[in-house]
Structure 1
Amino acid sequence: MQIGFIDFSKEERNKVLATLKLLGVQTALDELGVGSIRDAYSDILFPGISTIQTRAKYFVLIPYLFEKASKQKLSNGNEFHRWINDSEDKLVETLLRNSDDEETGIIGKNALRQKRSVKMKPSSIYWNGLRTFEIVRSSGISLSAACNVAWSEERKNDETDIKTDGETFDDDTAGHGNMVLFSPITAESDFVKTASIELTIKEAKFLESRILNATMSKNTLLSYLLKNKMNCNSFDEIPTVDLPDIISEDYQRAKSFADFIIGAHIRYNVIFSNYEDEDMIFEFNEWRTEFISKEFDLTNILERIPCNYATAKFCKDFSSAVHKNDTKAIDELIVAREKAVKGERAKLCKPKEYLYNYDRPVHFYRLDYRFRTAKTIIADIIKGLEGYANV
């Protein structure tokens, strides 16, 4: 089956490409439509982080590219944007050449080997994070609008019409100097020739400061882990003893929901296997025994975040059926929920079209709320602060 979309704009196109990319990764599946809850807690705990980010270095490379682009003789904002994208493609070779062979996360590495470029550029992938950490100072400005601003600043235009995502950006200082767009960070050398994927000490200190002080990221689990240099192995292993109360409460809510919803995903696989996967049947029974032995406050979890009625009702009905040990009601709920979420693509409604894979059960993993990406970003910054990166 081929999937298509109408190409309304570059930014809309990138959003769709990001979604399609995630559909190819097992951890992105959301057969039961709980992604809104997962994403809401991800934004609370790890703001500015997305699952398709790879390394912290890109948070400084993009401002470097904007600074360099502003010195070019470009015709307009669109050309400015194209120059940024072309330069991102060229940086792939630089990063590969100057980084250790075992380094991962260089965007475009595989594409370069195939003599092509990636469609999703780092500037698009990291733009929301740049705004969240106030590296880009204007929280509502889009990437394309920022390119227009940077180009017009170069032309000394004091009045620039800046269009942002869904609103008009009306800042009197917008046309007065490139530093309005970005918090000050300047490359220490000719980065287009010398940059590696690792952070320098200066870059690490800059990112640490931004994450610890930006309005949306300070006082979050992300900033706490970074401030205390805690590079934990997994989301579940984060120590809660010294966590500030509000962070601890949000972490416990998220963890409790992960403990809960994995049961629904396990049961999904029991149904999908036509009740023949004995391992999943065992897993579900084990999960239910443990789950009903603990206190679980679903209302507290859902009241903390925006949650639509249908999603909240499914969670509440599933919890009730589990406590009643009503497997018929549980299974009917799961089948109906997938049909409501996926429509004609619902696997459980088409057993002859979709084959169950015993080696790859659907969504058989716990939610970690983008922790794995956050762990990489934190590790990069800690390593840079310790001085192991190239200076």
Structure 2
Amino acid sequence: MPSVLAWIDHDSKARERTLRILSLFQEKESRDELGLGSVRDSFADQLFPGTSTIQTRLRYMLFVPWIYHSLEEKRLPAESFSIQADKLERDLVQPLMDSDDQAGVFGKTAGKRLKRLPSSVYWAGLGVWGIRITPFSQDEYHRHIEETYRRRNALKALEKDAKVRGDDIDVEQRMAALSWHPRLPAPPEDFPGAVNFALTREESEFIRDRIQVACPNSLLSLLALHCEPADTQAPWEHPDYSSYSEHHKELLTHARLFSEVMHGAALSYNVQLARLRNHDDLVAEHQASFDEWTANLPLEEIRAWSVSRLWELTMDHGHTITPQTRSFVQQWIDHTRKSPSNLLSNAEALTLIKRREMKLKGSRSRFRNQRALEQWGGYSGVGRLVYRWPNVKVLLNDLYQGLSREDQC
């Protein structure tokens, strides 16, 4: 019987939360076989707020509000608002595919039949960066759009009365009637008929300013303001690392050590599964990766690492890190500190990995479910944690290119 994920559709927030969970299964860094995602995402959200591993290009941060703002200007009723928004998002696919830069196009393969629309991917980030002002979830926004129109009508009446009195309207009253930031740049005249990913200078400055105002203490803000793009494998390898604040350096040090240590846990998991499958080539491949990991492990640094400080930095940042997760991580660190080269022959360390996966997956555990083991593709979570850095690099490069551009696109 195939596994099924279901939920009771009480409200739009529950529905969006479930759809977000479903989408996570396709993210590169989300193959969270050992339940480390809460720690990973806590670091990522502090370093690069508003980003995700399913964001592809920066100009989508403008495409989405441009589409919705245009529909608001037409005063489309609620019953057709979401339908028309859906159509306009799908209409973006072909113009982007006709442009010179097709990397990161939503619908590149599926065309207008794409299942995940950009608005669902960028909605949260638009809110974090302060480009989206409405506090509604996307579905609530669609359903309450006529309430937005009523607030605008009320604002116009207030402005008219205030003008007669020689007064001015309170800023909060103005903002309450807006869905999108009042300084949102205007779209190209032919949008969305002909469009590409090249940000104009005005658009780039707007996005950079939004990041700085909304996320002033983040590494994302620092990089957007001061640093040229760097093609490094991880954020702690950036050539401008020495100019980072002490707080950023501390976050990155703990993020790096967490990535280093827990990479070994993921490799152990893969070695054990390969052994269960009696797949000698896979065993040898994962064993070689494990040996390389142990050879390059900064063991002295790991032994001096304050794990209590790790939890101080990652707890209470919007992600629940359970006592079970903290215990698992601590035990793996303890085993690693003692003798990393013996971890694949240490029965206690092997059992730690096995029990953790069994606890998380239940009846679908590959250690107890033969069919799940047979369906295993041979690699699970073997990539190092780099906290959305590959995606952030692309977004920053788009921003930098726009800030360096004098002409209008």
TM-score (norm 2): 0.81
* Equivalence for 2:77: 75
CA distance in 1, matches of 2:46, 2:334: 27
How far apart are 1:174 and its partner, in Å?
Answer: 7.3
CA distance in 1, matches of 2:355, 2:5: 27
The structure where helix makes up a greater share of residues is 2
* Equivalence for 2:102: 103
In structure 2, do the counterparts of structure 1 residues 145 and 247 end up closer, same or farther at CA, with 3 Å as the change threshold? same
CA distance in 1, matches of 2:292, 2:177: 61
CA distance in 2, matches of 1:17, 1:51: 15
> Which of these residues, 117, 120, 129, is aligned with residue 116 of structure 2?
120
For 2:81, the aligned partner's letter is F
Aligned CA-pair RMSD: 2.7
For 1:250, the aligned partner's letter is L
- Counterpart check, 1:350 vs 2:349: no
Which range moved further: 29-38 or 15-24? Answer: 15-24
Cα contact 1:63–1:182 (8 A) shared by 2: no
How far apart are 1:328 and its partner, in Å?
Answer: 1.0
Cα contact 1:80–1:147 (8 A) shared by 2: yes
- Counterpart check, 1:284 vs 2:293: no
Cα contact 2:55–2:122 (8 A) shared by 1: yes
* Equivalence for 1:305: 314
CA-to-partner distance for each residue in 1:97-146, whole Å, 9 max, x for gaps?
3x21x42111122222xxx52232211110110011001124x4322333
Partner SS state of residue 70, structure 1: helix
Cα contact 1:111–1:118 (8 A) shared by 2: yes
> Which of these residues, 319, 331, 336, is aligned with residue 317 of structure 1?
331
In structure 2, do the counterparts of structure 1 residues 291 and 338 end up closer, same or farther at CA, with 3 Å as the change threshold? farther
* Equivalence for 1:363: 381
How far apart are 1:202 and its partner, in Å?
Answer: 1.5
* Equivalence for 1:387: 405
Cα contact 1:288–1:322 (8 A) shared by 2: no
Cα contact 1:260–1:291 (8 A) shared by 2: no
Which range moved further: 232-241 or 313-322? Answer: 232-241
CA distance in 2, matches of 1:389, 1:283: 48
How far apart are 1:286 and its partner, in Å?
Answer: 4.3
* Equivalence for 1:197: 197
* Equivalence for 2:210: 210
Cα contact 1:124–1:143 (8 A) shared by 2: yes
> Which of these residues, 46, 63, 67, is aligned with residue 61 of structure 1?
63
* Equivalence for 2:161: none
Cα contact 2:43–2:314 (8 A) shared by 1: yes
How far apart are 1:267 and its partner, in Å?
Answer: 1.0
Which range moved further: 314-323 or 227-236? Answer: 227-236
In structure 2, do the counterparts of structure 1 residues 42 and 389 end up closer, same or farther at CA, with 3 Å as the change threshold? farther
* Equivalence for 1:40: 42
Cα contact 1:266–1:364 (8 A) shared by 2: yes
Cα contact 1:273–1:356 (8 A) shared by 2: no
Partner SS state of residue 121, structure 2: helix
* Equivalence for 1:257: 258
- Counterpart check, 1:232 vs 2:239: no
How far apart are 1:4 and its partner, in Å?
Answer: 4.5
- Counterpart check, 1:29 vs 2:31: yes
CA distance in 1, matches of 2:22, 2:141: 26
CA distance in 2, matches of 1:15, 1:354: 29
In structure 2, do the counterparts of structure 1 residues 384 and 182 end up closer, same or farther at CA, with 3 Å as the change threshold? same
> Which of these residues, 142, 157, 168, is aligned with residue 137 of structure 2?
142
Unaligned stretches of 5+ in structure 2? 156-170, 316-320
Partner SS state of residue 242, structure 2: coil
CA distance in 1, matches of 2:95, 2:8: 31
For 1:209, the aligned partner's letter is D
CA distance in 2, matches of 1:257, 1:287: 14
- Alignment coverage as a number of residue pairs: 369
In structure 2, do the counterparts of structure 1 residues 388 and 106 end up closer, same or farther at CA, with 3 Å as the change threshold? farther
In structure 2, do the counterparts of structure 1 residues 253 and 388 end up closer, same or farther at CA, with 3 Å as the change threshold? farther
Unaligned stretches of 5+ in structure 1? 160-170
Cα contact 1:55–1:105 (8 A) shared by 2: yes
Which aligned pairs between 1:157-172 and structure 2 lie closer than 5 A?
158=154
Cα contact 1:38–1:367 (8 A) shared by 2: yes
CA distance in 2, matches of 1:270, 1:181: 50
CA distance in 1, matches of 2:191, 2:108: 18
* Equivalence for 2:164: none
Q: Could you tell me the percent identity over the aligned residues? A: 26
* Equivalence for 2:270: 269
* Equivalence for 2:166: none
How far apart are 1:67 and its partner, in Å?
Answer: 1.8
Cα contact 1:199–1:389 (8 A) shared by 2: no
Cα contact 1:134–1:183 (8 A) shared by 2: no
How far apart are 1:380 and its partner, in Å?
Answer: 0.7
